[in-house]
Structure 1
Amino acid sequence: MNHKRTTAVVGTVLAGALALTGCTGQAAGGGDTDDSTLTIWHYENDDSAMGKAWAEAIRIFEEENPDVTVDVEKQTFEQIQKNAKIVLTGDDVPDVMEFNKGNATAGQLAAQGLLTPLTDQAAERGWDKTLTGSLATTARYDEQGLMGSGDWYGVPNYGEFVGVYYNKDMFAELGLAEPTTLDEFEDVLAAFKKEGITPLAEAGAEYPLGQLWYELVLAYGDRDLVDDYQLFANDVDFHDQAMTQATEKLDEWIDKGYIASDSAALTAEDMGVSFIDGTYPIMVSGSWWFGRLASEVQADWGQFNFPGNALHPGSSGNLWVVPANADSPSLAEEFIDITLRPEVQNVLATEGGLPVAGDPSVIDDERTRELTENFQAILDDDGLAYYPDWPVPGYYDVIVSQLQSLVNRSKTPSEVLDGLQSAYDEGKADLLDG
């Protein structure tokens, strides 16, 4: 038997591929020309939930395929993100790799013919039954590379979402309960402010403030708005009821001092540290903070979904994709299938990795189980609404800049909405005409 696993941290692989391939051109087409080696590229740390889950998937694959050599090549997120298009036009490509979801990433590679369609496999292996609704949206791309319809080009097997972290000790000192509606949430904010405590840890220089704004958009909006905004189902009027109410509500919270006046210049790291050290009692942010909070917060703390919302910022995690030039696509598809098995999904569950098909009952840690159950509640309601900067390239910087102007009091809500509308419309036109 020829059974071994190799692991390499790859920097030169990408450099060599760049020297051997051109910058343009479609993939030449792979096929099952090698049934003895499976090459996997991913960028998860060994001690992360995903890293541990992928290690279990590899172990199972090796056990079931003793004559196959598994070659695991560690990349960084930035390496793959920056160089994937060039690398995948060559012949020396992985059989399966982890890649970012969205129009400008997986969608772009799919539209350029660099990824293998997985639609038939999704039906045969039941992936389309396990991954449905908003969870499957990031797996499918049309001929223009826009997500949400067309063929399957990737398979997610974990998730992420934005929720509310709170300092239970600070809540208890004021006799405050966990809010279940937006009105109750505002009552909590007011109670802290009355005691001289700014309630919300925030960061206007990076993503957090935009995600809080989007939580409010979703509080007033519905799935139709999400489909229009994210998937271009219909035109979006930023001065409609939901976006206007959300932007005015955020402006009201800034005016009332629920958000610190200097937060426009703060980073996500600044926000996280200020919540960890107990400066602020509430932080609205992503599940990616969970592990760090679990190891660093000294106070009692918890997490709940944004009160009253049926829709939440979040999505599937990164995708497993099969390059069009892969020489072992059948082995790659088998590996992907293994990552959705209960034994692998439950590793994600116990490690706080938010499985898409896990069992929260296997989780012993109370906070990890709470996080996973909160995510499962969102999935049960088909409540993932993606992220506010996703629709068009470059929109992240636009949202940051416009909302900083709101915090700095240099723009009114109406002027902010004008700025958001203009950049969105221009980006959408470029995508659809490109």
Structure 2
Amino acid sequence: MLAHSTTSPARSATGAVGKRRRASLVAVAAGSALVTLAACSGPGSRSGSSADATPTAVNTAVANTPTTLTLFSAAGLEAYEQDLADAFQRKYPKIKVKLRVESDNNFNTVLPRVLASDSAPDIVQPYDLRGGVKDGLLTNLDAYDKAYGWSDKVPASALAPGRVSNGVVGSGPLYQAGGSAGPLTGVFYNKKLAAKVGMKTPPRSIGELEAVMAKAKKSGITPIVASNQDGLIGHLYNLLLGDYMGAQELSDLVYRKPGATLQTPAAVQATKTLHKWIKAGYFASDVNALNQEASYGKFTGGKGLFFFQGSWITQTLDKNFKGKYGVFPMPPAKKGGMYAGMTNNTLAFSIAARSKKKDAAGLFLNFLTTPEAAKIAVGNGYAALTPGADSKAEPSLSGTLTKQIQTGYAAIAADNGFDSWLQNSAPEVNTKLTQQLQLLVSGKVTPTAMVKTLQSTYADALKSN
């Protein structure tokens, strides 16, 4: 689970640097085309309709077979997942989807027991994918991926956190799949202050971003609002790590890929960049004493130009600041480089190994790749992608906030740039990162020493776990 669970999503996707494929934005207006149901796949020795953890034969022609699927949901996601279930039932009226809801506090605790029981649900979003695969509680979805073509529809970086091989997340067989939807973690900006410093387009590189901040500082405007009493400068730090290391390398660390290390020149450069901004006075002098709530007040109170956060904060900001701010994705380290950013995939689900309705559940997962499911995600405050035609949209300061979030998310997806938070790699890393960020702000640790300490903490955590 994400260390800063009050501010960030619980799961995220790993990024693979590949060709720049533009995934089309979800159409908020009605009228999007449906993904055509595939024909039944060829014969195989094991059927997806049985309680088999590794089905090899998949029947995609199940829409007219009456059945009821059970989706095990945490209470906090109930409204969103009920919307998905209702939309699925409208398209496939003979397949009912019934939610089985557990309180947020108990969900993670009871989930393994529920999946192992004789009354296991069919569909679930597991918090511990690695453990679920190890214990044989989840279905290998490779046959469904092949039958429905998910790997061709969904960015590789959105599917990667659903893959597990030899206890390592990020590659191998697919155990969690669906569409691509989640929050955008990026650069929120005050529109009035942006106009004051002459920022008419989103910066296209770290250098251009620095130039805007330098101009703001010279104009008497604090360039960055942040809270570091709780280590939430970490959002900015992780964005810089993704820029300089690349999304794939950062995700390898989080998912504990053998040989992955933070102690690289790229990670040191990211840390030096943050340190340079601290020394330049781009943060308020009392940033180490500010908590999350206070930082919201400063941003909505016009006390700073930029706020590095995730789109989960929009409901909070809109209470006092609606229409007065926008957002764009973190620019690449160099102009023309790859976009990267932390997210989680709220349209990714697993099928329980004990489910006897795997083929119907597979149809539900395929539904999550459609424009209808993406539209529901947007309606619940997420960004979402749909398969199909290329999108030419680039990050912009114009358009609605929803459009800016969608465009930023699509830019990252096009570069397979979804990654995760370093602190998600281990609880010990989360604790140490907050401490080190506070020391960096107060000038009591150097960037090189900070990276060395974090790598040592990471290595020790892997040994103990």
Query: Shorter chain as normaliser: what TM range?
Result: 0.7 to 0.9
1:131–1:152: structure 2 CA closer, same or farther, 3 Å change rule?
same
In structure 2, distance between residues paired with 1:59 and 1:299: 30
- Which residue is equivalent to 1:284? 308
In structure 2, distance between residues paired with 1:72 and 1:331: 15
- 8 Å CA contact 1:312–1:384 kept in 2: the answer is yes
In structure 1, distance between residues paired with 2:69 and 2:384: 24
- 1:273 lines up with 2:302 in the alignment: no
Partner SS, residue 396 of structure 1 = helix
Deviation at residue 216 of structure 1 after TM alignment: 1.9
- Which residue is equivalent to 1:3? none
Deviation at residue 422 of structure 1 after TM alignment: 0.6
Unaligned runs of 5+ in 2: 1-49, 54-64, 393-398
Which structure has more RCO (C-alpha within 8 Å, separation ≥ 6)? 2
Which of 63, 81, 88 is matched with 1:60 structurally?
Answer: 88
Which of 100, 117, 120 is matched with 2:140 structurally?
Answer: 117
- 8 Å CA contact 1:39–1:71 kept in 2: the answer is yes
In structure 2, distance between residues paired with 1:302 and 1:403: 26
- Which residue is equivalent to 2:359? 330
- Which residue is equivalent to 1:17? none
Deviation at residue 212 of structure 1 after TM alignment: 0.9
Aligned length: 391
Deviation at residue 207 of structure 1 after TM alignment: 5.5
In structure 2, distance between residues paired with 1:335 and 1:139: 16
In structure 2, distance between residues paired with 1:411 and 1:76: 42
Deviation at residue 63 of structure 1 after TM alignment: 5.4
Deviation at residue 156 of structure 1 after TM alignment: 4.2
- 1:217 lines up with 2:244 in the alignment: no
Partner SS, residue 148 of structure 1 = strand
Deviation at residue 64 of structure 1 after TM alignment: 2.2
1:55–1:232: structure 2 CA closer, same or farther, 3 Å change rule?
closer
Deviation at residue 384 of structure 1 after TM alignment: 1.5
Instruction: Please list the CA deviations of residues 230-281 of structure 1 after superposition, one character each: whole Å capped at 9, or x if unmatched.
Output: 4555635544321112212212222222122332243333323321232222
Unaligned runs of 5+ in 1: 1-28
Of all paired residues, the percent bearing the same amino acid is: 24
Which of 355, 373, 397 is matched with 2:431 structurally?
Answer: 397
1:378–1:269: structure 2 CA closer, same or farther, 3 Å change rule?
same
Which of 118, 121, 125 is matched with 1:91 structurally?
Answer: 118
- Which residue is equivalent to 2:175? 153
- Which residue is equivalent to 2:130? 107
Deviation at residue 323 of structure 1 after TM alignment: 1.9
Which of 330, 334, 338 is matched with 1:306 structurally?
Answer: 330
In structure 2, distance between residues paired with 1:217 and 1:325: 40
- 1:192 lines up with 2:216 in the alignment: yes
In structure 2, distance between residues paired with 1:395 and 1:83: 26
- 8 Å CA contact 1:31–1:328 kept in 2: the answer is no
Instruction: Please list the CA deviations of residues 172-231 of structure 1 after superposition, one character each: whole Å capped at 9, or x if unmatched.
Output: 223334422212211222222223332211122446312211222233333563365345
Matches within 5 A, 1:367-378: 367-378=401-412
- Which residue is equivalent to 1:416? 450
TM-score, with normalisation over the residues of structure 1?
0.80
Deviation at residue 72 of structure 1 after TM alignment: 1.4
Higher mean Cα deviation, 135-144 or 180-189?
180-189
Partner SS, residue 175 of structure 1 = coil
In structure 1, distance between residues paired with 2:198 and 2:251: 40
Q: What is the root-mean-square deviation in Å for CA atoms of aligned residues? A: 3.1
Deviation at residue 169 of structure 1 after TM alignment: 0.5
Partner SS, residue 185 of structure 2 = strand
Partner SS, residue 394 of structure 1 = helix
1:143–1:241: structure 2 CA closer, same or farther, 3 Å change rule?
closer
In structure 1, distance between residues paired with 2:272 and 2:51: 53
Instruction: Please list the CA deviations of residues 83-112 of structure 1 after superposition, one character each: whole Å capped at 9, or x if unmatched.
Output: 322332222322112334xxxx21221122
- Which residue is equivalent to 2:39? none
- Which residue is equivalent to 2:33? none
TM-score, with normalisation over the residues of structure 2?
0.75
1:208–1:303: structure 2 CA closer, same or farther, 3 Å change rule?
same
